[in-house]
Structure 1
């Protein structure tokens, strides 16, 4: 792609499609699907156009017919995995919270299935223009509008919920990636490092009490509980603002 065209169209979603007389050997769907498999298996550092082409047994011409560069590929894979998130149907003031909670859990699960996703949010360019991300945003706005949120308030609410989920799930994904590299289970790893952790918090009275209270707890269950409690706080705040402004 000429440099001036890349400057004018910095995203896969904003540049016009290339015209080809012959049919490319690969489809965009094949490229994106294989890229996701590569990311799931080896992580974001392993992603390159060369490595992806080798996995697909395809030359550069077939690849670049659909994807101009790695940045465009990232936009595509980020949008594709957002297609795994479904927004439940909801109507009226009584269902918005349950629907929003379901989407939050679905987004968290998606990030934990694809732990590389969290590290790509900041590098995803104009991925928000992708069809799956736009569908997700529009459906969520519809859920909140049906509950009485004004459109601007609904937009702020969606951003707040997503920011919470991404922040929490990013930390979880990093932790689970470390565990996977260690070859140990979550409970096993925690029990091994626990004596050092308890020794480290001795000068800090509040942390010392906190660690003493959770000694021997189910680590995975504690992660889930922490997420649920934080999400409930976010939704409580949105409910208060809704009732105040309604």
Structure 2
């Protein structure tokens, strides 16, 4: 007697070539093109032209798919140790830029990953080693390494969330900010008013690449000061 819960005969077209990697590649394409909400197990099965139940042999649910996407996207961040041939602060900056670029390449996934603790933990295991390695080479204590790495990763996460939500290379805050400052009562926020007035619209133009490098330089300088204590 054939079990009614199982299909007999040859696999449905597409299922013979089904693999975890194929599923994740299709899922990433959906997320990149349409966003996280468009990703369901049924939609994924339809894209791959397979029975939805066949997906569960590889990934048990959507949460597992998202964790797998995090691994797929960020696995490339694992790099060989450059040793002492590259200064510790440059190693740190390279690691930060690589992580930011990975998040920027998949903004829809970035927004999900950074708000999902299980996905974040999967990413952190892959991401933090280059940071820890550079900070260790800087001569920091284990506690200092832990705190400095957390600060750097939090900076990149926060920056990437802002970048992903804007979806443009430049964020023109100047017109609205200048108008609001001009409408402030006399004596209200005097330093802000002076800075905005001196910079003007051109000086207030915000470029994400420059902003990231500025923040990264500030953090690296702070870490350098910490190691001298």
| Cα displacement string for residues 67-112 of structure 1 (whole angstroms, at most 9, x for unaligned residues) | 1111111111112211232546343497111011011111111111
Which of these residues, 137, 161, 186, is aligned with residue 146 of structure 1?
Answer: 137
Larger Cα-atom Rg = 2
Q: Does 1:228 align with 2:201?
A: no
Residue aligning to 1:12: none
Contact 1:74 1:124 in 2 (8 A): no
Cα distance in structure 2, aligned partners of 1:88 and 1:225: 28
Residue aligning to 1:19: none
| Cα displacement string for residues 88-146 of structure 1 (whole angstroms, at most 9, x for unaligned residues) | 6343497111011011111111111111233222225165346xx53432343233223
TM-score normalised by L of structure 2: 0.77
Cα distance in structure 2, aligned partners of 1:165 and 1:156: 14
Q: Which runs of 5+ in 2 are unaligned?
A: 1-10
| Distance 1:85-1:219 versus aligned 2 partners, 3 A rule | farther
Tell me which moved more, 109-118 or 209-218. 209-218
Which of these residues, 52, 63, 69, is aligned with residue 44 of structure 2?
Answer: 52
Residue aligning to 2:150: 159
Q: Does 1:78 align with 2:78?
A: no
| Cα displacement string for residues 209-244 of structure 1 (whole angstroms, at most 9, x for unaligned residues) | 444515136956x32222211111111111111221
Contact 2:89 2:134 in 1 (8 A): no
Cα distance in structure 2, aligned partners of 1:92 and 1:174: 38
Residue aligning to 2:166: 175
| Distance 1:58-1:206 versus aligned 2 partners, 3 A rule | farther
Count matched residues.
Answer: 209
User: How far is the alpha carbon of 1:174 from its aligned partner?
Assistant: 0.6
| Cα displacement string for residues 184-230 of structure 1 (whole angstroms, at most 9, x for unaligned residues) | xx66x84xx8544432232155444444515136956x322222111
Contact 1:100 1:140 in 2 (8 A): yes
User: How far is the alpha carbon of 1:24 from its aligned partner?
Assistant: 6.1
Runs of 4+ in 1 over 6 A off after TM superposition: none
Cα distance in structure 2, aligned partners of 1:26 and 1:44: 22
Contact 1:79 1:127 in 2 (8 A): no
